[in-house]
Amino acid sequence: MKKIVFSFLLFSIAFAGISQGKMERREFVAASLENNPAGEDPLRQLSIYLPQDYEKGTQRYPVIYVLHGYGGTDSVMMNVWIDFKLLLDEAIKTGKMSPMIVVAPNSMTRMQGSFYTNSAGSGNWADYIGKDVVQYMDENFRTIPDRASRGLCGHSMGGNGALKVGMLYADTFSAVYALSPAVLNWYGDFSLSSPAFKRISKLNSQDAILKGLFKSDQTGDFDGFFAAVYTAMAQVYSPNGANKELGADFPVSYLGDSAVYDSKVISEWEAEFPYYMIDDYLPQLRSLSALKMDWGRNEDFPHIPYSSLQFSKKLESYHINHFAEEYIGDHGNMLDGFEGRVFTELLPFFNTYLKVQTPTN
Protein backbone atom coordinates (compact mmCIF):
# COMPACT_ATOMS: atom_id res chain seq x y z
CA MET A 1 0.00 0.00 0.00
CA LYS A 2 2.85 2.40 0.85
CA LYS A 3 4.40 1.75 -2.58
CA ILE A 4 1.10 2.62 -4.31
CA VAL A 5 0.74 5.87 -2.35
CA PHE A 6 4.39 6.78 -3.00
CA SER A 7 3.99 6.10 -6.73
CA PHE A 8 0.82 8.23 -6.84
CA LEU A 9 2.63 11.11 -5.12
CA LEU A 10 5.50 10.91 -7.60
CA PHE A 11 3.02 10.97 -10.48
CA SER A 12 1.17 13.94 -8.98
CA ILE A 13 4.41 15.88 -8.48
CA ALA A 14 5.56 15.13 -12.03
CA PHE A 15 2.17 16.11 -13.48
CA ALA A 16 2.13 19.32 -11.49
CA GLY A 17 5.44 20.28 -13.07
CA ILE A 18 4.10 20.05 -16.59
CA SER A 19 3.43 23.41 -18.23
CA GLN A 20 -0.33 23.68 -18.64
CA GLY A 21 -1.69 26.20 -21.06
CA LYS A 22 -5.33 27.12 -21.47
CA MET A 23 -7.76 26.83 -24.39
CA GLU A 24 -10.39 29.52 -24.92
CA ARG A 25 -13.09 29.97 -27.53
CA ARG A 26 -14.15 33.49 -28.42
CA GLU A 27 -16.46 34.93 -31.06
CA PHE A 28 -16.70 38.31 -32.73
CA VAL A 29 -18.28 39.98 -35.74
CA ALA A 30 -15.81 40.13 -38.64
CA ALA A 31 -16.19 43.41 -40.53
CA SER A 32 -14.84 41.90 -43.76
CA LEU A 33 -17.69 39.37 -43.87
CA GLU A 34 -20.59 41.68 -43.04
CA ASN A 35 -23.42 42.18 -45.54
CA ASN A 36 -22.12 39.62 -48.03
CA PRO A 37 -24.64 38.68 -50.76
CA ALA A 38 -24.35 34.95 -50.03
CA GLY A 39 -25.55 35.41 -46.47
CA GLU A 40 -22.47 33.89 -44.82
CA ASP A 41 -22.51 34.56 -41.08
CA PRO A 42 -20.04 37.31 -40.07
CA LEU A 43 -20.17 36.08 -36.44
CA ARG A 44 -16.95 34.06 -36.27
CA GLN A 45 -15.33 31.85 -33.65
CA LEU A 46 -11.69 31.63 -32.57
CA SER A 47 -10.02 28.74 -30.76
CA ILE A 48 -7.14 30.23 -28.78
CA TYR A 49 -4.27 28.64 -26.85
CA LEU A 50 -2.83 30.78 -24.05
CA PRO A 51 0.46 29.67 -22.45
CA GLN A 52 0.84 28.87 -18.77
CA ASP A 53 0.72 31.88 -16.43
CA TYR A 54 -0.78 34.12 -19.14
CA GLU A 55 -3.32 35.54 -16.67
CA LYS A 56 -0.69 36.16 -13.99
CA GLY A 57 1.89 38.18 -15.88
CA THR A 58 2.36 41.18 -18.12
CA GLN A 59 4.50 39.53 -20.79
CA ARG A 60 3.53 39.90 -24.44
CA TYR A 61 3.65 36.91 -26.78
CA PRO A 62 4.17 36.08 -30.45
CA VAL A 63 1.08 34.69 -32.17
CA ILE A 64 0.79 31.75 -34.56
CA TYR A 65 -2.34 31.86 -36.75
CA VAL A 66 -3.58 28.41 -37.84
CA LEU A 67 -5.86 27.98 -40.90
CA HIS A 68 -8.01 24.85 -41.00
CA GLY A 69 -8.77 22.68 -44.01
CA TYR A 70 -11.87 22.15 -46.13
CA GLY A 71 -14.82 20.85 -44.13
CA GLY A 72 -13.12 21.78 -40.86
CA THR A 73 -13.59 24.41 -38.19
CA ASP A 74 -11.35 26.13 -35.68
CA SER A 75 -12.26 23.77 -32.83
CA VAL A 76 -11.93 20.62 -34.93
CA MET A 77 -8.50 21.73 -36.09
CA MET A 78 -7.21 22.69 -32.63
CA ASN A 79 -8.91 20.15 -30.38
CA VAL A 80 -9.95 17.09 -32.39
CA TRP A 81 -7.87 16.56 -35.50
CA ILE A 82 -4.66 17.80 -33.89
CA ASP A 83 -4.32 18.12 -30.12
CA PHE A 84 -2.59 21.49 -30.17
CA LYS A 85 -2.81 22.01 -26.43
CA LEU A 86 -0.98 18.76 -25.67
CA LEU A 87 1.72 19.51 -28.24
CA LEU A 88 2.15 23.15 -27.21
CA ASP A 89 2.31 22.33 -23.50
CA GLU A 90 5.04 19.78 -24.14
CA ALA A 91 6.96 21.95 -26.62
CA ILE A 92 7.03 24.88 -24.17
CA LYS A 93 7.85 22.67 -21.18
CA THR A 94 10.79 21.04 -22.97
CA GLY A 95 12.11 24.26 -24.49
CA LYS A 96 11.28 23.27 -28.04
CA MET A 97 9.56 26.64 -28.32
CA SER A 98 9.10 29.80 -26.30
CA PRO A 99 5.64 30.48 -24.85
CA MET A 100 3.36 31.73 -27.63
CA ILE A 101 -0.31 32.34 -28.30
CA VAL A 102 -1.85 30.15 -31.01
CA VAL A 103 -5.21 30.93 -32.63
CA ALA A 104 -7.34 29.14 -35.22
CA PRO A 105 -10.13 31.22 -36.85
CA ASN A 106 -13.34 29.56 -38.04
CA SER A 107 -13.56 29.94 -41.83
CA MET A 108 -16.38 27.46 -42.49
CA THR A 109 -18.97 28.43 -45.13
CA ARG A 110 -22.23 26.89 -46.29
CA MET A 111 -20.24 24.95 -48.88
CA GLN A 112 -17.70 23.92 -46.22
CA GLY A 113 -14.78 26.15 -47.16
CA SER A 114 -13.77 29.75 -47.90
CA PHE A 115 -10.42 29.07 -49.60
CA TYR A 116 -9.28 32.22 -47.77
CA THR A 117 -10.19 34.33 -50.78
CA ASN A 118 -11.76 37.77 -51.05
CA SER A 119 -15.07 37.37 -52.85
CA ALA A 120 -17.74 39.75 -54.07
CA GLY A 121 -20.20 36.93 -53.39
CA SER A 122 -19.49 35.53 -49.94
CA GLY A 123 -17.26 38.09 -48.25
CA ASN A 124 -13.58 38.94 -48.00
CA TRP A 125 -12.04 35.85 -46.40
CA ALA A 126 -8.41 36.88 -46.89
CA ASP A 127 -9.12 40.23 -45.24
CA TYR A 128 -10.97 38.42 -42.45
CA ILE A 129 -7.70 36.65 -41.56
CA GLY A 130 -5.21 39.40 -42.34
CA LYS A 131 -7.21 42.28 -40.82
CA ASP A 132 -10.12 41.26 -38.60
CA VAL A 133 -8.64 38.31 -36.72
CA VAL A 134 -5.26 40.00 -36.22
CA GLN A 135 -6.94 43.19 -34.99
CA TYR A 136 -9.13 41.23 -32.57
CA MET A 137 -6.16 39.35 -31.15
CA ASP A 138 -4.06 42.50 -30.75
CA GLU A 139 -6.91 44.37 -29.04
CA ASN A 140 -7.97 41.58 -26.68
CA PHE A 141 -4.78 39.68 -25.79
CA ARG A 142 -1.22 40.55 -24.84
CA THR A 143 0.25 39.94 -28.24
CA ILE A 144 3.40 41.46 -29.64
CA PRO A 145 1.62 43.62 -32.25
CA ASP A 146 4.38 43.44 -34.80
CA ARG A 147 4.86 41.60 -38.08
CA ALA A 148 8.08 40.01 -36.83
CA SER A 149 6.10 38.24 -34.09
CA ARG A 150 3.25 36.88 -36.23
CA GLY A 151 3.34 33.51 -37.96
CA LEU A 152 0.81 31.98 -40.35
CA CYS A 153 0.28 28.30 -41.10
CA GLY A 154 -2.36 25.90 -42.34
CA HIS A 155 -3.07 22.44 -43.68
CA SER A 156 -4.61 21.44 -47.03
CA MET A 157 -7.06 24.26 -47.91
CA GLY A 158 -5.45 26.01 -44.95
CA GLY A 159 -2.00 25.46 -46.49
CA ASN A 160 -3.27 27.09 -49.66
CA GLY A 161 -4.63 29.92 -47.52
CA ALA A 162 -1.36 30.34 -45.63
CA LEU A 163 0.52 30.85 -48.90
CA LYS A 164 -2.14 33.15 -50.34
CA VAL A 165 -2.71 35.29 -47.26
CA GLY A 166 1.04 35.25 -46.63
CA MET A 167 1.53 36.95 -49.99
CA LEU A 168 -1.41 39.34 -49.63
CA TYR A 169 -0.49 40.28 -46.06
CA ALA A 170 3.28 40.03 -46.01
CA ASP A 171 3.30 43.29 -44.07
CA THR A 172 1.27 41.56 -41.32
CA PHE A 173 2.91 38.10 -41.10
CA SER A 174 6.62 37.43 -41.27
CA ALA A 175 6.87 33.61 -41.27
CA VAL A 176 4.65 31.18 -43.20
CA TYR A 177 4.38 27.37 -43.07
CA ALA A 178 2.11 25.43 -45.46
CA LEU A 179 1.36 21.78 -44.65
CA SER A 180 0.21 19.73 -47.67
CA PRO A 181 -1.18 22.81 -49.45
CA ALA A 182 -4.09 21.87 -51.73
CA VAL A 183 -5.17 23.19 -55.14
CA LEU A 184 -2.15 25.39 -55.81
CA ASN A 185 -2.55 24.62 -59.52
CA TRP A 186 -4.23 22.17 -61.87
CA TYR A 187 -2.93 18.62 -61.95
CA GLY A 188 -4.23 15.05 -61.88
CA ASP A 189 -7.21 14.65 -59.56
CA PHE A 190 -7.64 18.44 -59.49
CA SER A 191 -8.13 19.24 -63.16
CA LEU A 192 -10.54 20.59 -65.75
CA SER A 193 -11.21 17.03 -66.91
CA SER A 194 -12.52 15.99 -63.48
CA PRO A 195 -15.87 14.13 -63.67
CA ALA A 196 -16.95 16.20 -60.69
CA PHE A 197 -17.76 19.10 -63.05
CA LYS A 198 -20.23 16.88 -64.88
CA ARG A 199 -21.83 15.95 -61.58
CA ILE A 200 -22.22 19.62 -60.68
CA SER A 201 -23.93 20.35 -64.03
CA LYS A 202 -26.39 17.50 -63.50
CA LEU A 203 -27.22 18.23 -59.87
CA ASN A 204 -27.24 22.06 -60.10
CA SER A 205 -28.27 22.21 -56.45
CA GLN A 206 -26.22 23.22 -53.45
CA ASP A 207 -28.16 20.87 -51.16
CA ALA A 208 -27.72 17.91 -53.51
CA ILE A 209 -24.00 18.59 -53.86
CA LEU A 210 -23.58 18.80 -50.09
CA LYS A 211 -25.53 15.57 -49.67
CA GLY A 212 -23.05 13.90 -52.02
CA LEU A 213 -20.15 15.37 -50.03
CA PHE A 214 -21.38 13.95 -46.74
CA LYS A 215 -21.98 10.55 -48.34
CA SER A 216 -18.45 10.60 -49.74
CA ASP A 217 -17.11 10.52 -46.17
CA GLN A 218 -18.45 6.98 -45.86
CA THR A 219 -18.05 5.77 -49.44
CA GLY A 220 -14.71 7.36 -50.41
CA ASP A 221 -16.40 8.89 -53.48
CA PHE A 222 -13.89 11.52 -54.56
CA ASP A 223 -16.20 12.77 -57.34
CA GLY A 224 -18.75 13.74 -54.70
CA PHE A 225 -16.02 15.32 -52.61
CA PHE A 226 -14.59 17.34 -55.49
CA ALA A 227 -18.05 18.43 -56.68
CA ALA A 228 -18.46 20.16 -53.32
CA VAL A 229 -14.89 21.53 -53.36
CA TYR A 230 -15.32 22.98 -56.87
CA THR A 231 -18.62 24.57 -55.89
CA ALA A 232 -17.04 26.16 -52.83
CA MET A 233 -14.16 27.41 -54.97
CA ALA A 234 -16.51 28.80 -57.62
CA GLN A 235 -18.44 30.77 -55.01
CA VAL A 236 -15.28 32.66 -54.05
CA TYR A 237 -13.27 32.58 -57.30
CA SER A 238 -16.06 33.30 -59.81
CA PRO A 239 -19.24 34.34 -57.96
CA ASN A 240 -22.34 35.14 -59.98
CA GLY A 241 -25.54 36.05 -58.18
CA ALA A 242 -27.53 35.48 -61.37
CA ASN A 243 -26.99 31.75 -60.86
CA LYS A 244 -29.71 31.36 -58.24
CA GLU A 245 -28.91 27.71 -57.50
CA LEU A 246 -25.13 27.76 -57.02
CA GLY A 247 -24.27 31.47 -56.98
CA ALA A 248 -21.29 31.09 -59.28
CA ASP A 249 -19.89 30.42 -62.72
CA PHE A 250 -17.79 27.32 -63.38
CA PRO A 251 -14.76 26.77 -65.62
CA VAL A 252 -16.38 23.64 -67.06
CA SER A 253 -20.06 22.96 -67.76
CA TYR A 254 -21.76 20.21 -69.72
CA LEU A 255 -24.22 20.03 -72.59
CA GLY A 256 -25.26 16.42 -72.41
CA ASP A 257 -21.99 14.53 -72.33
CA SER A 258 -19.97 17.32 -73.97
CA ALA A 259 -17.73 19.51 -71.85
CA VAL A 260 -17.81 23.27 -72.45
CA TYR A 261 -14.78 25.23 -71.23
CA ASP A 262 -15.12 28.87 -70.22
CA SER A 263 -11.76 30.58 -70.75
CA LYS A 264 -12.81 33.67 -68.79
CA VAL A 265 -13.72 31.67 -65.70
CA ILE A 266 -10.62 29.51 -66.04
CA SER A 267 -8.55 32.71 -65.95
CA GLU A 268 -10.47 33.96 -62.90
CA TRP A 269 -9.69 30.74 -61.05
CA GLU A 270 -6.04 30.70 -62.03
CA ALA A 271 -5.63 34.29 -60.86
CA GLU A 272 -6.51 32.98 -57.37
CA PHE A 273 -4.18 29.98 -57.47
CA PRO A 274 -1.08 30.61 -55.31
CA TYR A 275 1.16 29.18 -58.06
CA TYR A 276 0.21 32.03 -60.42
CA MET A 277 0.17 34.64 -57.67
CA ILE A 278 3.94 34.21 -57.20
CA ASP A 279 4.67 36.37 -60.27
CA ASP A 280 2.80 39.35 -58.82
CA TYR A 281 4.05 39.08 -55.23
CA LEU A 282 7.81 38.71 -55.52
CA PRO A 283 8.70 41.64 -53.19
CA GLN A 284 6.30 40.33 -50.57
CA LEU A 285 7.68 36.80 -50.76
CA ARG A 286 11.24 38.08 -50.50
CA SER A 287 10.31 40.12 -47.44
CA LEU A 288 9.28 37.07 -45.38
CA SER A 289 11.69 36.04 -42.65
CA ALA A 290 10.98 32.39 -43.50
CA LEU A 291 8.75 30.30 -45.74
CA LYS A 292 8.33 26.53 -45.53
CA MET A 293 6.11 23.93 -47.16
CA ASP A 294 5.98 20.17 -46.89
CA TRP A 295 3.89 17.28 -48.17
CA GLY A 296 3.57 13.52 -47.87
CA ARG A 297 5.04 11.19 -50.47
CA ASN A 298 1.96 8.94 -50.21
CA GLU A 299 -0.53 11.81 -50.35
CA ASP A 300 -4.20 10.85 -50.84
CA PHE A 301 -4.63 13.70 -53.36
CA PRO A 302 -2.03 13.25 -56.15
CA HIS A 303 -2.11 16.90 -57.19
CA ILE A 304 -0.62 18.03 -53.85
CA PRO A 305 2.91 16.56 -54.14
CA TYR A 306 3.14 17.60 -57.80
CA SER A 307 1.86 21.16 -57.45
CA SER A 308 3.77 21.70 -54.20
CA LEU A 309 7.01 20.73 -55.93
CA GLN A 310 6.16 22.98 -58.89
CA PHE A 311 5.42 25.84 -56.48
CA SER A 312 8.80 25.32 -54.81
CA LYS A 313 10.61 25.16 -58.15
CA LYS A 314 8.99 28.42 -59.22
CA LEU A 315 10.09 30.09 -55.99
CA GLU A 316 13.58 28.73 -56.61
CA SER A 317 13.62 30.09 -60.17
CA TYR A 318 12.99 33.54 -58.69
CA HIS A 319 15.72 33.00 -56.06
CA ILE A 320 13.23 33.21 -53.20
CA ASN A 321 14.63 31.57 -50.09
CA HIS A 322 12.37 28.89 -48.67
CA PHE A 323 12.27 25.35 -47.31
CA ALA A 324 10.46 22.53 -49.13
CA GLU A 325 10.36 18.95 -47.93
CA GLU A 326 8.71 15.67 -48.87
CA TYR A 327 8.29 13.12 -46.09
CA ILE A 328 6.95 9.56 -45.90
CA GLY A 329 3.27 10.00 -45.09
CA ASP A 330 -0.15 10.73 -46.53
CA HIS A 331 -2.54 13.68 -46.25
CA GLY A 332 -2.78 13.65 -42.47
CA ASN A 333 -1.23 10.62 -40.79
CA MET A 334 2.05 12.33 -39.87
CA LEU A 335 0.75 15.58 -38.38
CA ASP A 336 -0.41 14.89 -34.82
CA GLY A 337 1.46 13.36 -31.90
CA PHE A 338 4.98 13.85 -30.63
CA GLU A 339 6.44 12.30 -33.80
CA GLY A 340 4.19 14.31 -36.11
CA ARG A 341 5.15 17.27 -38.25
CA VAL A 342 3.39 19.87 -36.10
CA PHE A 343 5.50 18.98 -33.06
CA THR A 344 8.78 18.12 -34.76
CA GLU A 345 8.81 20.74 -37.54
CA LEU A 346 6.14 23.44 -37.37
CA LEU A 347 6.52 24.55 -33.74
CA PRO A 348 10.35 24.66 -33.85
CA PHE A 349 10.10 26.58 -37.15
CA PHE A 350 8.09 29.37 -35.55
CA ASN A 351 10.28 29.28 -32.46
CA THR A 352 13.24 30.01 -34.71
CA TYR A 353 11.70 32.69 -36.90
CA LEU A 354 9.27 34.62 -34.69
CA LYS A 355 10.56 37.41 -32.46
CA VAL A 356 9.79 37.03 -28.76
CA GLN A 357 9.63 39.74 -26.13
CA THR A 358 12.95 40.55 -24.53
CA PRO A 359 12.66 40.02 -20.75
CA THR A 360 13.01 43.17 -18.66
CA ASN A 361 14.50 43.38 -15.18
Give the per-residue SS3 of 154-197.
Answer: EECHHHHHHHHHHHHCCCCCCEEEEECCCCCCCECCECCCCCHH
* pLDDT at 215 (0 to 100): 83
User: What is the pLDDT, as a whole number, of residue 219?
Assistant: 72
pTM of this structure: 0.94
Structure confidence at residue 6 as a pLDDT band (50, 70, 90): very low
pLDDT for 261-309, tens place per residue?
A: 999 999 999 999 999 999 999 999 999 999 999 999 999 999 999 999 9
How confident is the model over 196-224, as a mean pLDDT? Answer: 89
Q: How far apart are CA 167 and CA 178, in angstroms?
A: 12
Residue 247: what are its φ and ψ, rounded to 5°?
65, 25
Q: Delimit the domains of the chain by residue range.
A: 14-185+274-353, 196-269
Per-residue pLDDT tens over the stretch 335-345: 999 999 999 99
Predicted confidence band of residue 360 (pLDDT cuts 50, 70, 90): low
Q: What confidence tens digit (pLDDT) does each residue in 172-208 have?
A: 999 999 999 999 999 999 999 999 999 999 999 999 9
Q: Which residues lie closer than 8 Å to 295 by C-beta, 6 or more apart?
A: 179, 180, 181, 304, 305, 308, 326, 327
What is the model's pLDDT at position 19? 63
pLDDT (0 to 100) of residue 65: 99
For the stretch 278-286, contacts whose Cβ atoms lie closer than 8 Å and that sit 24 or more positions apart, written own/partner, are: 278/167, 278/311, 278/314, 278/315, 278/318, 281/167, 281/168, 281/170, 282/318, 282/320, 284/166, 284/167, 284/168, 284/170, 284/171, 285/167, 285/170, 285/315, 285/318, 285/320, 286/320, 286/321
Burial of 350 (0-12, 13-18, 19+ CB in 10 A): buried
Q: What is the CATH number of domain 14-185+274-353?
A: 3.40.50.1820
> What band does 361 get if pLDDT is binned at 50, 70 and 90?
very low
